[in-house]
Structure formats: structure tokens, C-alpha cells
């Protein structure tokens, strides 16, 4: 082990702040604190001179203080970039919610990492066993005491100059495509920590020992340069063994005294000989990294231990920047290469099938290549699956397309924001100008981008015409140009092009017959055009069948997009059905896209109008503008056509009316399937630059198949027939759904409330535009991840099925460009939630009124139980007040429907929960039932008779029972209190009969608690008794 520091070494340490000093959220905090079990953890010295904190240690970085999330940093920026008074080591975040990407941005700012290199970093668990995706949400509350590590995750070979192509000189203060100074500093500190901490596997052979000692010489020399000391001075207070990995230190320690002294002398001699070299710290760090890369070339590889679906045989998935994705079986050294990152077409995550019918934690990850080959593996947990997918997703953005993501489950929030705003990432001004010039460089052309120097700034490069000629200026507005200007030719040119293409979903062209009429000779496709097949078999074609066909068409168009060849004539008529398929027998349908025929660039205008709505609007106004985005429009129209059974009402209109459709920038009626509506709307965007690429469309189609298809398959046969029709109209005018609210008629008034997952707004639904419409409460999601959307759908379905006087009334839904804009419309109750109502009106609310509220809530809960619905969040904050004598149960965001064969529900991913309202079985095993709602009702009774006092709230009372030294695991401590029969005290002035009801609700055993059917007559009897006593 490294020698214990003697007196005089304190100048190498980072000052430490006492553990009782807490920093505000996001501000730098002290390094790792004392551990009562392991003693003091070593402090993080400047650039890591002492034994590293991460890797091969038994002590924990976690502070004894709860309510804090710590982000460990290997290295911080120099003092000019660092906030005054801050300490190196960790950033601390207190109460609130933070995404992993947000924490990475905060860490990058503290470390001086620029946005250009931000994508190389990620957060890992404290033991470095798993990585968090960028959109992972950390919830910091009283029970939180967590440490995560900010690390460089994405490595590439030779990026420090080991290969033939590298930089020999770093440019001061300039971000580069390789690495800049702050990233070199951080990579060095991280690599040094891994090396000394034993995370870099090194042998103990003599050549390896010599290499390790050479690294130690470089390290000591760097310390001398940075501390402005001579090598002899550094050797006097820093042991060279502190720069070596633990196994080698241990081996040296086993030598006799003479051998150790000789090693020390030789080390000092080498250090003095190199001490005269005129090198600076950064060059020494680069040399250190180069030698370390030679020592272990595979140290950047990540290995995931999985298994094949349906098999117990272990499989190892190997992922590295230079090797792409490979796999091996049973611990074998032999690897099978699967793909490089640019070859990936799609990645999907879904829950693995259960072997015993019960819920499972396993997740299936499917990686699909551009040639439609797949790699499907099963991960033991969702966390591991997210870690793997986030790795592939990140490497793809670094090697192929910086603006693409495969899975919304791991998509970076900043990237989603950029795509929504049509904004580029942190590209340089030179790169932006080149893109604009590639797009034509006409005056008025502009491009919005994130600043490559500042995480919080946006820049816009715009082309302007000046007296001296064309110039590029910075402004604030947005535009996204893709630069595709490839033009196709005539019929023969198209035939020549198609003859050189080969894809299984493209019709094979045998040749061309030239004569009076030019003819293409193609393979025969048995079942002919898809639109005719859909019309003939309208009732027999399922939604799943259509999804498979749509996906195959997307793969064909993605292939053409990669080749930069626009098709120009995408429609169901051009899609030929080679095989019908048999879903029952496991045989899918198989389609092939036919040739486009005569290009739109040479067609007469009347022929172009005839192709509306499949031909893109820009091609009608300017036939010479056929570029790749035109196929996205045609694909959207074809998608609409496929799911309407091969019908396209717009095609039957007169030419003038078709032109008016485009001139008015109108859209086809939105399908009632919101995700499909989103896809169609994105494809049929009138601005060509805003249409998504086909890789993104493949990803979204796969999400329909892997998640929403389960929803479709759960419908009854009658519902499937109705759903499979999608549109209840015979023309372009949609029939008005009384429960469908149009977004343009919802007028925002104010914000009613905001929670962790959604917000509720007060709006006026005013279709007449005269401010006479009714007031409604509109709930929408804060984020739109796939899981949150599914949970929101379930909440809407549950509320839609409930009709009771004491439950908030469902009014309808509002769709805005598909599911991304899904909103729940409910009745508006003007007096707000019961918690606030009690606090404001305590003087005039008598016990009889409180019992009336309790009885109404009890009757509502009795109705929910009859509907096999468990609320799971029964509290005064979720009860809405219609009037002084009428309350209603609201907020069904956590509600669950009980399975038909069980009277309880086990939540697998509980998320953030109101633990102080939860029953013991819910805290211990995530089991919820009507009996657990009864427990929560008892807590609600307590809130009623304390008038929701903040100082006497359930959380404050239980925390008071726990004492001032609140443990990190509050749930465990709370459960221990309940097992010991500790309960909330009787509220001041509360009748003993009411408190007895509360205590009956708080019986530890669920079966001992009364049902709501038993509680309601008891509460009503208490009301009658109180009224008679008062009378």
C-alpha cells in the first residue's frame, strides 16, 4: 500500500468541509465524508496524487447525511473556471428531481468540459457496475443518500495519438474533434484512478512491471512540474509506490529491504534524469495515457452478461469504440462480430415473456441492422438493459448521426428538445457555414445550433447579402437544412439506377426493353398492388399485419435514403405483396417496393396533381425539387392509406380541390390511434426539412409493435373491428366525437397544480370563440416517455370507466399531433383540493362537515372497490372540493385495476410514492389492495381532523417519531415503527369514536381492517349522533 503521508504533505490535500455543512442543490460540496465503519476516506488531491477513491476500495463515498445526491468528480477545472470557495471531489444535490443528463451538464461545467465533448461522459453507479441513461430521473428526498460517478464512458482507439493519425500539439483553449485540455485532464485523472485502484488489469511479468514503473516516473514528474518542485523534493514526501497499482505495490513490499532500496534508488535516478526535460504537464499526461493504452488495449471495452431468449446458456456482449458490437458464448475467447455502430437500424426494449405466468423483471433487447438481421438478447433487469442500449445509442451518435436516437426510453432530454425545436447540436461556426453553402447559400438561409462553448446558449448562422457580397452572420432564429440535392433523371435513368440496387424489399429489375415503348422487365410479384389487396380483404387484415408491412416499406425507403436516391412515387399502389403471410402459423407478410416509373421531374403538372396526396407539395409547386424528404411525405400518405384499408378519399376529388388542399396546408384526418397520428403528421409536414429520417420512422414503428400492439391485442373482438377501421367517416370531414376536444378551442387561463409527472391547467373550451364556453381542468404530462404515456393512457381509461357522484367527472381527451400532445379533460371544481380548503376554512368547518366529507369519500371508495380499482394515492391533496358540502375523489395517476383472479396488485416499478400514507404491506412488498386504500383512508381521516396542518402532517409526525438522526432508509425505519404499533396520535379535539375508526383502519394485518362498505354506515351514524347532540 502507499506510504502513509507524513507531516508536511497537507498542501497536496483538498480542504474538507465538515459533514454538517450542506450545500444548496447543484453547488459544489465537500469530498467524500468520514465513514463510521471504515474511518476516513482519502481526500481527492489535485489531479489525484493520492490513492484514488474509486476502484478496489471497501469504503463508501456515501455521506451519513440523508437527503443528498453526490456526484463524484475525478478532476475539477482550474481555479479561474471554478466557483470561489468550491472544493474538488463532489457536487451535492439536495431535494428535487434531476435527470442524469442535467447532472452531467452541471458536472461538465464544474470540470470545464465543453459541450463538444459532453457526449463522451455519463454517470455510473458508485461501484461502477452499471451506467445510467441520460434521461434517468434521480429523486432526492429524505430517504435518498446516493453517490454516482461522473466518468468518460465512450472511448475510441488512438484518440490520444497512438495511431498514425493524431494531433502532435494541443491548441490552447480550443475545442477540437479529438480532445481538448479539460477532457485530457479528466481522462488522465480517471485513467490514473483506474490504474492505481486496480481497475486496469495488469500482469506481474517483468516487462509489465517495467511499464508500470515507467508510468510512475511520468506521474511523479508531472507532480513535480505542477507543484513547481524538483524531483528530489517530490520524492521526499510522495512515495513512488503510491503511483503503482495495488498488486505491484504488494509484490514490491514482499521484497527484502536491500531490493526495495535498490528499486527506490533506480526510480529516483530515472526521475532526476527526466527532470531536466522541457515538457509541461499536459504533454506528460498525454504520454501517460499513451503508455497506459499500450499496457491494456481493451480497457475501454464494456461486457454485458446476458442470455439468449428461451435458453439458459450465458452469452457475453462486447461493446467497444473500435470493435463495435460482438458476442461470445460460455466464456469463450472466440468472438463473433455482429455490427459496427453505423450499421444499426433500430433498437427496441420490451418485457421478456414469463415462464410461469407471473411478472418478470427480464427485458428483451433487439438490435436490428440495416440489412434486417437482428441480435436479440435477454437482460436480467431493466437497469442493465437501459445501460446497454444507452451505450449503443451514444456510440451511434458519435460515429454516425449526432441527431438520432433509437429508444425514447434512453433518449437524452436535450436531444429531444433539439429535435422538437429543429436545432443542431454544438457544431462549430465553420461547420454551420459549410452546411448552409451545401444547401445553396442563398440569402435568408439560416441554421440554429447550440453553442459549442456554452451549455446555455444558442447560436444562429444566417446567410445575408451585403454590398461586398454574400456573408454569414449570427442571429436568433431557427432553421435546419439537411443539404440533400440529389436529383433523379427520366424513366431510363431511373431504370438504370434501380438495376444497380439490391434489397430484399425492392422489386428485382431484370432489364429494359427499348423500342417504340420502353418497358421494364421485372420479377413477378404474386399478389399484386397492396391497395387492391387491402380493399378486397378489408375485414380480414389485422392491425399487426399492417404494421409489419409498414415496417418493411420503411426499411426499403431507408435503404434508398442511405444511397441518397429519392424514389418519388411512394404509394400503396407501388407496394407489391409477394406473400400474404399467416400470423397464426408465424409466417409474416412480405412486400416489395416497385420502381417509381417516370420521375416527377419530367411529369406534366396535371399528372402531378393527379398524384395528390402522395406527391410532396414542394414537387407540385416545383417539380425539379425532388429530393429525399419527398419520400417521407409519400410514406406518410401511404401509411394513412394502409390503415384505412387501401382507401384514399382525397384521390377522388377534382384537381382544383386537390390543389386547394395543398394551398391551404391542410392535413388528412388524424387517425384515432394517437401514435399513428403522430407518425403521419411528422411525415406529412409541409416544411421538408422537418420530416424525420427513415431510421427515426423505423424506430417509431418498432415502438408501435413492441408496446402498443399489446394494448390492441387486449381489446375485445368488437373493439378490434372498430379500432381497425381507425376513421369513422366516409369523406374528409371527421365526425365530431362528444368526448374529443380540439386543441385550438382550449383557451389557457391559469395553472391549477403541478406534480412530478404532470400538470393541471384551467382552460375554457370555447368552440364558438365568444368566451361563453365552459371551464374545464386539463391534465397533461411533463415528459412524454413511453412508460409515462402508457401510464397516462391507463389513468384515462380508468377515469373514463368511472361514474359516481363523489368521483371527479371525466369529460374527454384532446390530441395534439398524436400521443405526444395527449391531454385529459375533466370537470373543473372551483374550490381546489381539500388540503388547501381545510387550511383556509378551518374556523367555519365543524366536525359534522368533516364527517360529511369522510362519508362522501368513503362512498366513492366503496364504488371504486366494486369496480376492482385500487386508488393507491388517497390523501387530502387528491380530494377536490365542489362546494362546502360536496367533495370528489381525483387524481388516478397511480390507480390500478385488480386482476380478475386476485384481490391485490403487486407494483414492480413503484417510483416515487407517498410512503407516509402507505400500508405496511405496500411499504414492504409493494402490495396494494382495497385494504391498503383503507389504511390510506385512515390517514386521510387524520388529515381531516388536523385540518391538514403542515406542522402536524403525517410526514412530520412520523419523522418526529424517528428522531433528529433520520436514517438513510426512511421506508425501513417507518416500517419498523408500524410493526411496533406506533401510530399517528389523536388530533387535538378529535372525538374518540373518530380516532377509534382511524385505529381500525391502521390494523397491521390487512384482513383485520374494515371495508369501505363497513365504514360508511359507521361514519353516517357518527354524523347523525353529532347532529342530534348539537341539536
258 vs 260: CA distance, rounded Å:
5
Instruction: Give the residue carrying C-alpha cell 508500470.
Output: 212
Please name the helix (run of DSSP H) or strand (run of DSSP E) that holds residue 860, with its range, or none.
helix 847-866
Helix axes 694-703, 629-643, angle to 10 degrees: 30
- Annotated catalytic residues are 873
Q: Alpha carbon 954 to chain centroid distance? A: 33
Res. 621: pLDDT tops 80: yes
Res. 433: pLDDT tops 50: yes
Cis before 613? omega within 30: yes
Q: Which of 135-144, 737-746, 880-889 has the lowest mean pLDDT?
A: 737-746
Beta-carbon contacts of 298 under 8 Å, excluding residues fewer than 6 positions away, are 320
CA distances from 206 to 203, 209, 219, 252 (A): 9, 5, 20, 12
Nearest to 877 by CA among 940, 941, 834: 834
- Averaged pLDDT for residues 453-473: 79
Asked if 760 contacts 752 with a C-beta cutoff of 8 angstroms, the reply is yes
Q: Which of 7-11, 338-342, 985-989 has the lowest mean pLDDT?
A: 7-11
Q: Is 544 left (phi over 0), alpha (psi -120 to 50) or beta?
A: alpha
Backbone angles phi, psi at 631, to 5 degrees: -70, -30
754 vs 779: CA distance, rounded Å:
9
Nearest to 696 by CA among 723, 670, 678, 672: 678
247 vs 928: CA distance, rounded Å:
51
- Report which of residues 3 and 249 the model is more confident about: 249
Position 526 scores a pLDDT of: 87
CA angle 739, 822, 613 (to 5 degrees): 90
Percent of the chain topping pLDDT 90: 30
- Averaged pLDDT for residues 450-465: 83
Beta-carbon contacts of 96 under 8 Å, excluding residues fewer than 6 positions away, are 25, 140
Helix (H/G/I), strand (E/B), else coil: 314: strand
Beta-carbon contacts of 931 under 8 Å, excluding residues fewer than 6 positions away, are 919, 1006, 1007, 1009
pLDDT tens per residue, range 468-506: 778 887 654 433 343 322 323 344 555 666 666 788 999
- Averaged pLDDT for residues 781-810: 84
Domains of the chain, first to last: 301-416 (2.30.29.30), 426-488 (3.30.505.10), 492-521 (no CATH), 528-706 (1.10.510.10), 737-828 (3.30.200.20), 832-1030 (1.10.510.10)
Binning pLDDT at 50, 70 and 90, where does residue 162 land?
A: very low
Q: How would DSSP label each residue in 392-442?
A: HHHHHHHHT-TT--S-GGG--HHHHHHHHTT-B-S--HHHHHHHHHHTT--
Copy the grid coordinates of residue 785: 416517455
pTM: 0.52
Compute the Cα dihedral for 684, 687, 693, 697 and give only its sign. negative
- Averaged pLDDT for residues 452-465: 82
- Averaged pLDDT for residues 63-69: 64
Binning pLDDT at 50, 70 and 90, where does residue 732 land?
A: very low
pLDDT tens per residue, range 925-977: 889 999 999 999 999 999 999 999 988 999 889 888 887 555 557 888 888 89
Beta-carbon contacts of 100 under 8 Å, excluding residues fewer than 6 positions away, are 122, 123, 132, 133, 134, 135, 136, 137, 138, 148
640 vs 614: CA distance, rounded Å:
10
468 vs 435: CA distance, rounded Å:
22
Percent of the chain topping pLDDT 70: 77
Res. 761: pLDDT tops 60: yes
Position 76 scores a pLDDT of: 84
pLDDT tens per residue, range 630-639: 999 999 999 9
Residue 597, Cβ neighbours under 10 Å: how many? 14
Helix (H/G/I), strand (E/B), else coil: 452: coil
272 vs 418: CA distance, rounded Å:
53
- Report which of residues 164 and 122 the model is more confident about: 122
CA angle 518, 522, 526 (to 5 degrees): 135
Q: Residue 25: how many CA atoms within 13 Å on its side-chain side?
A: 12
63 vs 970: CA distance, rounded Å:
15
Position 364 scores a pLDDT of: 92
Q: Residue 91: how many CA atoms within 13 Å on its side-chain side?
A: 26
Beta-carbon contacts of 1015 under 8 Å, excluding residues fewer than 6 positions away, are 858, 934, 937, 997, 1001
pLDDT tens per residue, range 499-526: 667 889 998 877 666 555 556 678 888 8
- Counting every residue written for the chain, the total comes to 1031
Res. 237: pLDDT tops 80: no
Asked if 660 contacts 672 with a C-beta cutoff of 8 angstroms, the reply is no
391 vs 836: CA distance, rounded Å:
46
- Report which of residues 983 and 33 the model is more confident about: 983
Position 897 scores a pLDDT of: 87
Backbone angles phi, psi at 744, to 5 degrees: -70, -15
Binning pLDDT at 50, 70 and 90, where does residue 135 land?
A: very high
Write out the E strands in 519-638: 519-522, 575-579, 590-593
Position 840 scores a pLDDT of: 92
- Averaged pLDDT for residues 165-169: 37
Res. 685: pLDDT tops 90: yes
888 vs 870: CA distance, rounded Å:
16
Position 875 scores a pLDDT of: 93
- Averaged pLDDT for residues 186-204: 81
| Paired sense of beta strands 90-93 and 131-132, if any | unpaired
Helix (H/G/I), strand (E/B), else coil: 468: coil
The mean of the pLDDT values for the chain is 78
**Max avg pLDDT among 33-37, 278-282, 714-718:** 278-282
Report CA dihedral (642, 643, 645, 650) to the nearest 10 degrees: -80
Nearest to 851 by CA among 1013, 1011, 1008, 993: 993
Instruction: Give the residue carrying C-alpha cell 415473456.
Output: 353
Q: What separation, in Å, do the N-terminal and C-terminal C-alpha atoms of the chain show?
A: 84
Position 498 scores a pLDDT of: 64
- Report which of residues 217 and 589 the model is more confident about: 589
Residue 529's DSSP bridge partners are 576
840 marked as binding residue: no
Binning pLDDT at 50, 70 and 90, where does residue 3 land?
A: very low
Asked if 525 contacts 592 with a C-beta cutoff of 8 angstroms, the reply is yes
- Averaged pLDDT for residues 883-899: 89
**Burial class of residue 551 in the structure, from the number of CB atoms within 10 Å of its CB (0-12 exposed, 13-18 middle, 19+ buried):** buried
Asked if 1022 contacts 994 with a C-beta cutoff of 8 angstroms, the reply is yes
Position 347 scores a pLDDT of: 94
Copy the grid coordinates of residue 572: 400503396
- Report which of residues 473 and 987 the model is more confident about: 987
1017 vs 603: CA distance, rounded Å:
80
pLDDT tens per residue, range 327-361: 998 777 788 899 999 999 999 998 887 666 556 78
Nearest to 984 by CA among 997, 1002, 1009: 1002
CA distances from 471 to 111, 438, 480, 483, 957 (A): 36, 15, 18, 18, 67
| Paired sense of beta strands 68-72 and 145-152, if any | parallel
Position 215 scores a pLDDT of: 81
Compute the Cα dihedral for 397, 400, 403, 408 and give only its sign. negative
Binning pLDDT at 50, 70 and 90, where does residue 708 land?
A: very low
Amino acid at each position: 500500500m502507499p506510504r502513509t503521508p507524513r507531516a508536511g504533505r497537507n498542501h497536496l490535500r483538498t480542504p474538507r468541509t465538515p459533514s454538517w455543512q450542506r450545500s444548496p442543490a447543484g453547488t459544489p460540496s465537500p469530498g467524500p465524508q468520514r465513514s463510521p465503519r471504515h474511518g476516513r476516506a482519502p481526500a481527492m488531491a489535485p489531479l489525484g496524487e493520492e490513492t484514488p477513491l474509486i476502484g478496489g476500495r471497501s469504503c463508501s463515498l456515501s455521506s451519513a447525511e440523508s437527503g443528498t445526491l453526490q456526484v463524484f468528480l475525478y478532476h475539477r477545472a482550474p481555479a479561474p473556471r471554478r466557483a470561489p470557495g468550491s472544493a474538488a471531489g463532489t457536487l451535492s444535490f439536495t431535494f428535487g428531481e434531476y435527470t442524469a443528463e442535467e447532472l452531467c451538464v452541471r458536472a461538465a461545467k464544474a470540470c470545464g468540459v465543453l459541450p463538444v465533448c459532453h457526449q463522451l461522459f455519463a454517470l455510473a453507479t458508485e461501484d461502477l457496475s452499471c451506467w445510467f441513461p441520460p434521461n434517468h430521473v434521480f429523486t432526492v428526498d429524505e430517504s435518498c443518500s446516493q453517490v454516482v460517478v461522473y466518468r468518460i464512458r465512450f472511448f475510441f482507439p488512438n484518440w490520444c495519438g497512438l495511431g498514425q493519425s493524431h494531433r502532435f500539439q494541443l491548441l490552447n483553449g480550443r475545442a477540437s474533434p479529438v480532445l481538448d485540455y479539460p477532457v485530457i485532464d479528466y481522462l488522465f485523472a480517471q485513467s490514473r484512478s483506474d490504474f492505481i485502484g486496480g481497475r486496469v488489469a495488469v500482469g506481474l511479468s517483468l516487462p509489465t512491471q517495467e511499464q508500470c514503473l515507467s508510468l510512475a516516473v511520468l506521474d511523479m514528474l508531472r507532480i513535480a512540474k505542477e507543484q513547481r518542485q524538483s524531483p528530489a523534493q517530490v520524492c521526499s514526501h510522495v512515495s513512488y509506490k503510491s503511483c503503482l497499482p495495488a498488486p505491484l505495490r504488494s509484490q514490491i513490499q514482499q521484497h527484502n529491504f536491500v531490493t526495495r532500496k535498490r528499486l527506490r534508488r533506480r526510480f529516483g535516478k530515472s526521475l532526476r534524469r527526466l527532470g531536466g526535460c522541457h515538457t509541461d504537464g499536459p504533454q506528460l499526461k498525454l504520454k501517460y495515457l499513451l503508455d497506459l493504452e499500450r499496457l491494456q488495449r481493451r480497457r475501454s471495452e464494456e461486457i454485458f452478461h446476458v442470455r439468449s431468449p428461451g435458453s439458459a446458456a450465458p452469452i457475453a456482449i462486447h461493446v467497444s469504440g473500435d470493435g463495435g458490437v460482438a458476442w461470445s458464448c460460455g466464456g469463450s475467447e472466440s468472438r463473433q462480430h455482429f455490427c459496427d455502430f453505423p450499421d444499426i437500424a433500430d433498437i427496441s426494449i420490451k418485457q421478456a415473456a414469463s415462464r410461469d405466468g407471473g411478472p418478470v423483471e427480464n427485458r428483451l433487447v433487439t438490435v436490428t441492422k440495416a440489412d434486417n438481421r437482428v441480435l436479440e438478447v435477454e437482460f436480467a433487469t431493466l437497469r442493465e438493459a437501459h445501460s446497454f442500449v444507452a451505450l449503443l445509442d451514444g456510440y451511434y451518435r458519435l460515429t454516425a448521426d449526432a441527431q438520432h436516437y433509437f429508444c425514447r426510453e434512453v433518449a437524452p432530454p436535450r436531444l429531444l428538445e433539439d429535435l422538437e425545436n429543429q436545432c443542431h447540436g454544438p457544431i462549430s461556426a465553420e461547420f454551420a457555414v459549410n452546411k448552409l453553402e451545401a444547401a445553396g447559400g442563398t440569402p435568408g438561409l439560416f441554421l440554429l445550433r447550440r453553442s459549442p462553448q456554452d451549455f446555455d446558449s444558442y447560436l444562429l448562422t444566417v446567410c445575408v447579402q451585403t454590398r461586398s457580397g454574400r456573408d454569414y452572420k449570427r442571429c436568433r432564429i431557427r432553421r435546419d437544412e439537411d443539404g440533400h440535392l440529389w436529383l433523379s433523371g427520366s424513366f431510363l435513368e431511373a431504370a438504370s439506377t434501380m438495376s444497380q440496387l439490391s434489397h430484399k424489399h425492392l422489386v428485382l429489375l431484370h432489364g429494359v426493353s427499348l423500342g417504340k415503348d420502353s418497358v421494364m422487365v421485372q420479377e413477378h410479384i404474386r399478389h399484386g398492388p397492396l391497395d387492391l389487396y387491402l380493399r378486397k380483404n378489408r375485414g380480414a387484415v389485422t392491425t399487426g399485419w399492417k404494421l409489419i408491412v409498414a415496417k418493411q416499406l420503411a426499411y426499403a425507403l431507408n435503404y434508398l435514403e442511405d444511397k441518397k436516391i429519392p424514389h418519388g412515387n411512394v404509394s400503396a399502389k407501388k407496394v407489391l405483396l409477394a406473400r400474404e403471410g399467416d400470423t397464426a402459423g408465424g409466417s409474416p407478410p412480405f412486400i416489395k417496393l416497385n420502381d417509381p416509373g417516370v420521375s416527377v421531374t419530367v411529369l406534366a403538372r396535371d399528372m402531378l396533381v393527379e398524384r395528390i396526396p402522395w406527391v410532396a407539395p414542394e414537387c407540385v409547386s416545383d417539380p425539379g425539387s425532388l429530393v429525399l424528404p419527398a419520400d417521407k411525405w409519400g410514406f406518410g400518405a401511404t401509411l394513412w392509406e394502409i390503415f384505412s384499408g387501401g382507401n384514399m378519399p382525397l384521390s377522388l376529388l377534382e384537381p382544383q380541390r386537390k390543389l386547394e388542399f395543398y394551398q391551404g396546408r391542410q392535413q388528412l384526418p388524424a387517425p384515432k390511434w394517437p401514435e399513428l397520428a403522430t407518425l403521419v403528421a411528422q411525415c406529412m409536414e409541409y416544411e421538408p426539412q422537418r420530416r424525420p429520417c427513415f431510421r427515426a420512422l423505423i424506430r417509431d414503428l418498432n415502438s408501435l409493435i413492441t408496446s402498443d400492439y399489446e394494448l390492441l391485442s387486449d381489446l375485445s373482438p368488437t373493439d378490434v373491428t372498430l379500432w381497425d377501421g381507425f376513421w369513422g367517416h366516409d369523406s374528409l370531414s371527421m365526425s365530431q366525437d362528444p368526448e374529443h376536444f380540439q386543441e385550438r378551442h382550449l383557451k389557457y387561463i391559469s395553472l391549477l397544480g403541478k406534480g412530478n409527472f404532470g400538470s393541471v391547467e384551467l382552460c375554457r373550451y370555447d368552440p364558438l370563440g365568444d368566451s361563453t364556453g365552459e371551464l374545464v381542468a386539463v391534465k397533461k404530462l411533463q415528459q412524454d416517455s413511453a412508460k409515462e404515456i402508457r401510464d397516462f393512457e391507463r389513468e384515462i381509461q380508468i377515469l373514463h370507466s368511472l361514474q359516481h357522484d363523489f368521483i371527479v367527472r371525466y369529460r374527454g381527451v384532446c390530441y395534439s399531433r398524436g400521443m405526444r400532445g395527449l391531454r385529459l379533460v375533466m370537470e373543473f371544481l372551483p374550490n381546489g383540493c381539500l388540503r388547501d380548503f381545510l387550511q383556509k376554512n378551518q374556523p367555519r368547518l365543524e366536525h359534522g362537515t368533516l364527517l360529511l366529507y369522510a362519508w362522501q369519500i368513503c362512498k366513492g371508495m366503496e364504488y371504486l372497490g366494486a369496480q376492482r380499482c385500487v386508488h393507491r394515492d388517497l390523501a387530502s391533496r387528491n380530494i377536490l372540493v365542489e362546494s362546502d358540502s360536496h367533495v370528489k375523489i381525483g387524481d388516478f395517476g397511480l390507480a390500478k385495476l385488480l386482476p380478475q383472479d386476485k384481490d391485490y396488485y403487486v407494483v414492480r416499478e413503484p417510483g416515487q410514492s407517498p410512503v407516509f400514507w402507505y400500508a405496511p404491506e405496500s411499504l414492504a412488498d409493494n402490495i396494494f389492495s382495497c385494504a391498503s386504500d383503507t389504511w390510506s383512508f385512515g390517514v386521510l381521516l387524520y388529515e381531516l381532523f388536523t385540518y391538514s396542518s403542515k406542522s402536524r402532517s403525517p410526514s412530520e409526525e412520523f419523522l418526529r417519531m424517528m428522531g433528529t438522526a433520520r436514517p438513510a432508509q426512511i421506508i425501513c425505519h417507518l416500517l419498523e415503527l408500524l410493526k411496533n404499533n406506533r401510530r399517528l396520535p389523536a388530533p387535538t379535539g378529535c372525538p374518540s369514536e373518530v380516532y377509534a375508526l382511524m385505529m381500525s383502519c391502521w390494523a397491521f394485518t390487512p384482513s383485520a381492517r374494515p371495508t369501505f362498505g363497513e365504514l360508511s354506515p359507521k361514519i353516517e351514524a357518527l354524523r347523525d349522533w353529532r347532529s342530534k347532540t348539537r341539536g
